Amino acid sequence: MLKTLNTGDLTPGYEIDARIDKLRAGMAAQGIELAIILQNVDILYFTGTLQRGVLAVSAEHGPAFFVEKSLYRARIETPLEIIPIKRDKEVKDILVEKKMYPARCAMELDVVPVAIYQRWKSLLGLADVGDLSAIIRDCKITKSEFEIEQLRKSGAICERVFEKAKTIIREGIREVDIDAELLAEGRKRGHQGFLRMRGLNQEMMSCYVTHGYSTTVTSGADVPISGIGLTHAIGQGASVNVVRHGVPVIVDYGGGYNGYITDETRAYATGPLKDVFHKPFEVSREIIEETMGFAKEGIDGTEIFGRAFKRVKEAGLEAHFMGHGEGQVAFIGHGLGLEINELPVITPRHKILLKEGMVFAFEPKFIFPGEGAIGIEVDFVVRKDGLERLTKTPLDIVYV
């Protein structure tokens, strides 16, 4: 029954093998003999399933996938051999039996809580466990063609949502009502339901509909436009603010298909926009077009940011670029994959050479206190000779 109800594309065995081989190579280079992987997205990435369990990977012997539940789903979804367990205490004895018991072990210390880290040190009888997170980050930084196909399907959901927005947005409608209809449209088109973001207290909605004042209110989130939300307990996203004539409605939508996330933004308007928004929109568009003209494999991310900021300064808009006041953020682009904050990050100081298969969202935006915000966000795949877009939605302001 599960095979007929699931619409996602199961990860092929060759894909899983390539990911684990990359992980093992990274481990061997750092003298790590065993990886213990517990975080759900990392288990999904290296096994193809998202079940409760533990993935142990030996640099010498390969993977051992311990599953508590659901064995039924794991057997359908992963190409790896499964080792059923009732409790995690069984893992050490099986590792010893398989000659995988290590002298040097590592875990995902960027996300594993201290209590669980200490528990696994005790379970394995080890005095120290190192950090695996940088190796995993590097495994994920470039995407295979299988992954890029999942991202294209995620982007196709964005396209349908942006089309739907044309029929919904009108003067007098509340942000939250637009949000509700767009979320429903996405789900009908196959959206997975939520987005994943790595790190402590990192929470992200799949849709941000903001307008006027609500686009200018800052929050604790590391984003240029967060919205006000419906409650201080969340403090981001759509509010009960209503759409007014001449002020942009910003729709920042995160597609999600088969785990893979896309992230694009378009601006909508009911009638002619106020003059304050015209120039920054054109600068946003020029930045994107210029970046598409020169960025490719081998270009440093700092050069991308530097060229963009040069245009911003020439236009006299630096005080409003990527936020304002305490709300300004230090990036113009971020990596995409199974999590919305993967590498590369496009900043003025984070030197990183673009490589074939990297995927990132690029979002030149401008925020004007007391007025509103304007900007564009578009997703790119890095190729040897340029950038490839993941969606076909035009970059224009949509007048409704």
Q: Indicate whether 7 pLDDT > 60.
A: no
Residue 70 contacts by C-beta under 8 Å, 6 or more apart in sequence? 51, 52
For the chain, list the strands marked E by DSSP: 34-37, 52-58, 62-69, 82-84, 105-107, 130-131, 207-211, 249-257, 260-269, 333-335, 342-346, 359-362, 365-368, 372-375, 378-383, 386-389, 398-399
Q: Indicate whether 31 pLDDT > 70.
A: yes
Q: Whole-angstrom Cα distance, residue 238 to residue 210?
A: 6
As given in the structure block, the two tokens for residue 24 are: 């093992």
As given in the structure block, the two tokens for residue 11 are: 């990860």
CA–centroid distance for 378 within its chain: 13
Q: Whole-angstrom Cα distance, residue 283 to residue 306?
A: 14
Q: Whole-angstrom Cα distance, residue 307 to residue 220?
A: 28
Q: Whole-angstrom Cα distance, residue 115 to residue 105?
A: 17
Across the range 287-292, mean pLDDT stands at 98
For 237-316, list the strands marked E by DSSP: 249-257, 260-269
Residue 184 contacts by C-beta under 8 Å, 6 or more apart in sequence? none
Q: Which pLDDT score, from 0 to 100, does residue 344 have?
A: 97
Across the range 119-134, mean pLDDT stands at 94
Q: CA-CA distances (angstroms) from residue 359 to 104, 151, 177, 275, 284?
A: 33, 9, 31, 34, 20
Q: Whole-angstrom Cα distance, residue 337 to residue 363?
A: 16
**pLDDT-derived band at 2, boundaries 50, 70, 90:** low
pLDDT tens figures, 60-83: 999 999 999 999 999 999 999 999
Other Cβ atoms less than 10 A from the Cβ of 115: the count is 8
Residue 286 contacts by C-beta under 8 Å, 6 or more apart in sequence? 311
**pLDDT-derived band at 122, boundaries 50, 70, 90:** very high
Are the CB atoms for 397 and 388 separated by under 8 Å? no
CA–centroid distance for 114 within its chain: 25
- DSSP summary character for residue 274: P
Other Cβ atoms less than 10 A from the Cβ of 103: the count is 9
SS3 for 255?
strand
Q: Could you check whether the bond before residue 70 is cis, i.e. omega within 30 degrees of 0?
A: yes
Q: Whole-angstrom Cα distance, residue 373 to residue 247?
A: 8
Q: Indicate whether 1 pLDDT > 50.
A: no
Strands 82-84, 333-335: parallel, antiparallel or unpaired by DSSP?
unpaired
As given in the structure block, the two tokens for residue 299 are: 């270009």
As given in the structure block, the two tokens for residue 148 are: 């890029």
pLDDT tens figures, 369-397: 999 999 999 999 999 999 999 999 999 99
Show the domains of the chain with their CATH numbers.
Answer: 2-140 (3.40.350.10), 145-399 (3.90.230.10)
pLDDT tens figures, 87-116: 999 999 999 999 998 889 999 999 999 999
- DSSP summary character for residue 96: H
pLDDT tens figures, 218-237: 888 888 999 999 999 999 99
- DSSP per-residue letters across 147-200: HHHHHHHHHHHHHHHHHHHHHH--TT-BHHHHHHHHHHHHHHTT--S-----ST
Other Cβ atoms less than 10 A from the Cβ of 173: the count is 17
